[in-house]
Structure 1
Amino acid sequence: MKKELTHLLISLLLSTPIVAQQHSEQKHDKYVWPKDEQVKQKLQNWQDIKFGLLMHWGTYSEWGIVESWSLCPEDEGWCERRGPYAANWYEYKKAYENLQTTFNPVKFNPERWADAAKKAGMKYMIFTTKHHDGFCMFDTKQTDYKITDKKTPFSSNPRSNVTKEILGAFRQQGFMVGTYFSKPDWHTEHYWWPYFPPKDRNVSYDPKKYPEHWKKFSDFTYNQIQELMTDYGKIDILWLDGGWVRPFSTIDSTISWQRTIPYNQDIDMARIAASARQKQPGLLVVDRTVTGEFENYVTPEQSIPDHYMPIPWESCMTMGNSWSYVPKENYKSARKWVQTLVDIVAKNGNLLLNVAPGPDGEWHEEAYQRLAEIGKWVTVNGESIYNTKPLAPYRQGQWAFTSNGKSVYASYLPKESEQQIPASLSLPALNTSAKPNVTVLGTSQVLKATKTSGGLNVTIPEKIRQQLAGQPVWVLKIS
């Protein structure tokens, strides 16, 4: 028991949402709405589909550790090194980067992922083409630190360019697809210059003092993003992580992690976005935490705003405790995720749910089970989610409200102890007809509904209560 508890505590430590500290509460009053008509249309389409999949995958899965962060020489829990090389950072980095020579995910089958995600009701997908460690999960020409290099065993596999394979598999299932890309790169000498050993997550030299070195890094970044926008088919979203790489002028001194950024790290996002959209018209650019024209939607991490937000936003969250693969993951229940999805959609957001493949190229079987369970609910109740808008009062008590313009959906989120929908329900005042037609999704019987001065009282027959017992959320359709 103690061993299991220790493992759980380590998992929680490794998965502590670093960026939950980085990505403080979004200030939506500073959001900049896009002006490009194609971008606006793509953004609207994205807001209609509500539910997406994120996958963190790289060589770090071989050690079953937190993605990239053990390389970072900061005295933080999520950066703690473990294992035989932990005592010496240089030896550790060498061993970590040597994982490239053993990475061989022979069970890689993106079609299975895409099929499972589709059946769960997911409609868009973001894949980590490169995390902060700099290892590229695509066939870049800018470095040999990549999955397709001959040093990597999987390079001989006909599907070694996993980014291309994954994007293709999900497109085939009708998904919008996006590329996660880390702006910082801790492998290239143009970011962590060996002449100045790194002290933290930031660039290891002053770009203002060594502009020619920074120019090489900016061009390196630009060229890699150009490759992704040129050689990988239609891309809908460019999802950029590592918000400390930003112009000094964009730092918000009221946010603790931004106050620690020592240098101006401007990679010329205007140039990157313009060239990317030449290749991918209407591309959504998500320069996370850098408020302005290149953050087309905001991304609270491992958290959900406690109120409706009138701007485009997405909560990115882990199905278990970790962003990256760990041998024994603690997956949260399907009930938890259905209620989370309903809560987020009622507040005008999307849910991006992370599942991490392992070193063999497979998910834990439990992840497939969770998605199948979520999908059972979505199959019946999806009309209350997709192509809807939040409806005031949005979230009130155990209720969440959406509308598609024709019908109102009142979703009841039961407590753990509630296995049956209550026999009588009282809804707050809603903009409905004098004699509304009310049903519970999953049934066809019209329910007795009485308008009152305070709202609407609905009676649920015992037969329906028994038929729908155990559901994570019950949805009343009012038309």
Structure 2
Amino acid sequence: MKTSENKTTAPEWGRVVHEAPKWFRDAKFGLFFHWGPYSVPAYQNEWYSRNMYTQGLEQNIHHEKTYGSLHDFGYKDFYDMMDGSKFDADAWADLVVRSGARYAGPVTEHCDNFSMWDSQVNPVNSVNYGPHRDITGECAEAFRKRGIKFLSTFHHQWLWGWFMSTDNEADVYDPANEKYYGPALPLETNRYIPYRYPDEKFCKMWREKVFEVIDKYQPDAIYFDSRTCIIDEESRFSIADYYYNKAGHTDGIITYKQEDFPKGIGVYDIECGRFSQAKPYPWQSDDRLEDNITWCMVQEPKYKSAARIIHQLCDIVSKNGCLLLNAGPYADGSFHPEAVKVLYEIGDWLSVNGEAIYETRPFRVAAEGPTDVQDANYDVEKIREQLDKGDAADVHSDILTSLDFRFTQKDGTVYGIAMGWPEDNTLRIRTLGRKGPGKLVLDENSRLSLVGSSSPVVWKQEDEALVVDLPEDRPCKHAYTVRIEGGHF
């Protein structure tokens, strides 16, 4: 932005301060899908496209052993092997609905310059190569038909230096391949914060890709991965200003990581993260269904249990957050049966207990129990470690027990969610005792019930705990919700 004296002025970030819309705060649970040419080798993780070009890394050794030299077989040669022959946007929408997620979308562009939409800006896209289909467009249409808010995720700031190789003969250095990999740059540009920042040409392309997706698909939410901070401030501001003000998405939301955007312009996202206490602002954690350290399909996939994801969701929601969960499909666009099974199981739980999750807000106490949940995040230190070693670190989630509770509230009703079924069929909730920190007073007009069960529960509020005797029949698996109506403070 220029003044009449031709001096650069700081963007007016106050113009794009934007609170999370009600739909986002109510949704609580979303899905996204890492799918791209990296799904073809399906080896270790979605950083294959970068690590295959670093001599000595395991993915580089695997690549040359399996596919040949980097000169003869580069990342571009995976494009048409990603045929998408089993991709069905309606089936993806069915999976989202069945999982209980309320917002979703495919990764719009990862770090690899492969745009998953019908792009006029970038010729390297899913219409010209690979599936020869507009993945983003088909998903947007199918998802919205099912009432799912549409998400677009952008990781393409990582392209700056992403493909630079320690092998001078690699195809990334052939000028004829610049449209696939970008221009040849100093090797150091692949660091998290390089000495040489993106030039105006790169930033212009970065902007235009996002503008194009906004114009063509009107995403309800836009997610920016980490490292967006290397893009010049004016470009970052122009995206927020265009999305919220010029394109008129007053009910949309931007999510961002670290300090890549100023506070107040969107929702703060912590990758694989959690907070120990509830926050006064809405936030998001993006995490993986995969139990391998990968966000994409790999050759021998493993998946987290439904119980683990459900407990994570309850913990996040109790602390004013939303969980955005990833599931990576095969190169053909289909999902592993075990991933589908776990997502169905999560959906089954939400079909019973969703009233304690959707549209809720934090109770005055978020959590109770012996499990010590500390703040955690896939922070810059971990990102740098991954850049240096090629291997991603993991952020381990805590295993919650029947002695752990999470609390939410909605329209005067309080929900206490137990993270397991007690052996003696009795819950003792200290937070909700007469002298407990929840400061909830129950009387003869108060009503307690077990969500999903028609059997009555016997309860009494003692000074030290709310004691609830549960029926023998369990209404679901993994976590159990006590509905408390008619309490007062």
Q: TM range, normalised to the smaller chain?
A: 0.7 to 0.9
Partner of 2:184: 194
**Offset, 1:85:** 2.5
Match of 1:284 among 253, 256, 264: 253
Whole-angstrom distance in 1 between the partners of 2:475 and 2:142: 36
| 1:104–1:360 CA contact under 8 A, matched in 2 | yes
Match of 1:323 among 280, 286, 295: 295
Indicate the larger mover: 49-58 or 315-324. Answer: 315-324
Match of 1:433 among 442, 446, 450: 442
Q: How many residues align?
A: 409
Q: CA 1:286–1:81 in structure 2 vs 1: closer, same or farther (change >3 Å)?
A: same
Whole-angstrom distance in 2 between the partners of 1:76 and 1:382: 49
Partner of 1:447: 457
| 2:109–2:153 CA contact under 8 A, matched in 1 | yes
Do structure 1's residue 52 and structure 2's residue 30 form an aligned pair? Answer: yes
Whole-angstrom distance in 2 between the partners of 1:54 and 1:74: 27
* CA displacement 1:53-107 (0-9 Å, x = unmatched): 0111100000003214541599899984242427999827951122113321110
Pairs within 5 Å for 1:115-126: 115-126=94-105
| 2:452–2:476 CA contact under 8 A, matched in 1 | no
Partner of 2:356: 384
Do structure 1's residue 308 and structure 2's residue 278 form an aligned pair? Answer: yes
Do structure 1's residue 358 and structure 2's residue 348 form an aligned pair? Answer: no
Whole-angstrom distance in 2 between the partners of 1:357 and 1:304: 26
| 1:137–1:162 CA contact under 8 A, matched in 2 | yes
Do structure 1's residue 338 and structure 2's residue 310 form an aligned pair? Answer: yes
Partner of 1:373: 345
Cα RMSD of the aligned pairs, angstroms, is: 3.1
Whole-angstrom distance in 1 between the partners of 2:279 and 2:72: 42
Partner of 1:14: none
Whole-angstrom distance in 2 between the partners of 1:83 and 1:73: 8
SS in 2 for 1:142: coil
- Code of the residue aligned with 2:247 in structure 1: it is K
Q: CA 1:476–1:427 in structure 2 vs 1: closer, same or farther (change >3 Å)?
A: farther
Q: CA 1:386–1:107 in structure 2 vs 1: closer, same or farther (change >3 Å)?
A: same
* CA displacement 1:32-59 (0-9 Å, x = unmatched): x98769x43x533201110000111100
Do structure 1's residue 136 and structure 2's residue 105 form an aligned pair? Answer: no
Q: CA 1:189–1:372 in structure 2 vs 1: closer, same or farther (change >3 Å)?
A: closer
Match of 1:412 among 403, 407, 418: 418
Q: CA 1:424–1:56 in structure 2 vs 1: closer, same or farther (change >3 Å)?
A: closer
Q: CA 1:400–1:350 in structure 2 vs 1: closer, same or farther (change >3 Å)?
A: same
Whole-angstrom distance in 1 between the partners of 2:56 and 2:315: 30
* CA displacement 1:377-396 (0-9 Å, x = unmatched): 11111100011111122101
Q: CA 1:438–1:236 in structure 2 vs 1: closer, same or farther (change >3 Å)?
A: same
Partner of 1:473: 479
TM-score by length of structure 1 reads: 0.77
Do structure 1's residue 457 and structure 2's residue 431 form an aligned pair? Answer: no
Do structure 1's residue 206 and structure 2's residue 206 form an aligned pair? Answer: no
| 1:124–1:176 CA contact under 8 A, matched in 2 | yes
SS in 2 for 1:343: helix
Q: CA 1:73–1:120 in structure 2 vs 1: closer, same or farther (change >3 Å)?
A: closer
| 1:334–1:371 CA contact under 8 A, matched in 2 | yes
SS in 1 for 2:39: helix
**Offset, 1:470:** 6.7
| 2:40–2:331 CA contact under 8 A, matched in 1 | yes
Q: CA 1:310–1:61 in structure 2 vs 1: closer, same or farther (change >3 Å)?
A: same
Partner of 2:138: 165
Do structure 1's residue 235 and structure 2's residue 203 form an aligned pair? Answer: no
Whole-angstrom distance in 1 between the partners of 2:180 and 2:195: 9
Whole-angstrom distance in 1 between the partners of 2:254 and 2:364: 29
Indicate the larger mover: 139-148 or 107-116. Answer: 139-148
Whole-angstrom distance in 1 between the partners of 2:14 and 2:317: 22
| 2:222–2:255 CA contact under 8 A, matched in 1 | yes
Do structure 1's residue 275 and structure 2's residue 285 form an aligned pair? Answer: no
Pairs within 5 Å for 1:93-108: 95-108=74-87
| 1:114–1:170 CA contact under 8 A, matched in 2 | yes
- Code of the residue aligned with 2:135 in structure 1: it is V
Whole-angstrom distance in 1 between the partners of 2:456 and 2:441: 16
Partner of 1:399: 405
| 1:73–1:199 CA contact under 8 A, matched in 2 | no
TM-score by length of structure 2 reads: 0.76
**Offset, 1:138:** 1.0
- Code of the residue aligned with 2:255 in structure 1: it is V
Match of 1:222 among 207, 223, 234: 207
* CA displacement 1:408-436 (0-9 Å, x = unmatched): 1011112xxx5757235344233243232
Partner of 1:23: none
**Offset, 1:450:** 1.7
Whole-angstrom distance in 2 between the partners of 1:229 and 1:469: 43
- Code of the residue aligned with 1:61 in structure 2: it is S
Q: CA 1:90–1:287 in structure 2 vs 1: closer, same or farther (change >3 Å)?
A: farther
Whole-angstrom distance in 2 between the partners of 1:396 and 1:179: 35
% identical aligned pairs: 24
Partner of 2:158: 184
Partner of 2:425: 422
| 1:287–1:294 CA contact under 8 A, matched in 2 | no
Whole-angstrom distance in 1 between the partners of 2:281 and 2:76: 40
| 2:53–2:60 CA contact under 8 A, matched in 1 | no
- Code of the residue aligned with 1:170 in structure 2: it is F
**Offset, 1:177:** 1.1
Whole-angstrom distance in 1 between the partners of 2:347 and 2:122: 40
